[in-house]
Amino acid sequence: MASTSDIRKGLCIRYNHDIYKITEFLHVKPGKGPAFVRTKLKSVTTGKVIDNTFSAGHKIEDVRVETRSYQYLYSEGQTYHFMNTDDYNQIALQESALDAPELLKEGEVVTIMFNTEDAMPLSVDMPASVILEVTHTEPGVKGNTATNATKPATVETGARINVPLFINEGDKIKIDTEKGSYMERAKD
């Protein structure tokens, strides 16, 4: 058993007869009344995200997890196939287990979290950022650069991202996987 002081991003807990992963949390100490922890929980079975507030000192049941590196191979509809980088065993996961499947490129190495009790995969953690090539975007309009203007672009995985006007087709860009947003032009 853990308490609210042990809450951190990525912690898996058992709550309401399901396993949830904490995606965001905030410790709040109001001037009047007891402290509490505001959390955003994502179900590892359904992918549903809920908001929950725990009072300070509340006991939570944490789930023991183990992480392993897997390489993304390919997808078939809603099923994504991964290969263990240590023993080359393959597993297939549903799209709901992934946070940003539209940014996943073949050959990308991800971290998959497993429940140690039953060896069930719980979630897939992508790298903090990925580098993808822009396959389609409209040319930027000259003279429209005084503001922080953006335009839509399609990257090689099919995802649509808003990018600055100076980005052209064929450019490689760095994308934040958590927010799904443009970070910078990739350095060659």
Positive/negative CA dihedral, 118, 16, 95, 156: negative
pLDDT at position 122? 78
Is residue 66 predicted with pLDDT exceeding 70?
A: yes
pLDDT in tens, 24-51: 899 888 888 888 989 998 887 777 888 9
The whole-angstrom distance between residue 106's C-alpha and the CA centroid of its chain comes to 17
pLDDT in tens, 176-186: 888 888 888 88
Question: Which residue bears the tokens 């991800």?
Answer: 110
Question: Which residue bears the tokens 């399609």?
Answer: 154
First to last CA, the chain: 48
pLDDT at position 142? 65
How does 95-116 read in b/e, with b if 16+ C-beta sit within 10 Å? eebbbbbebbeeebebebbbbe
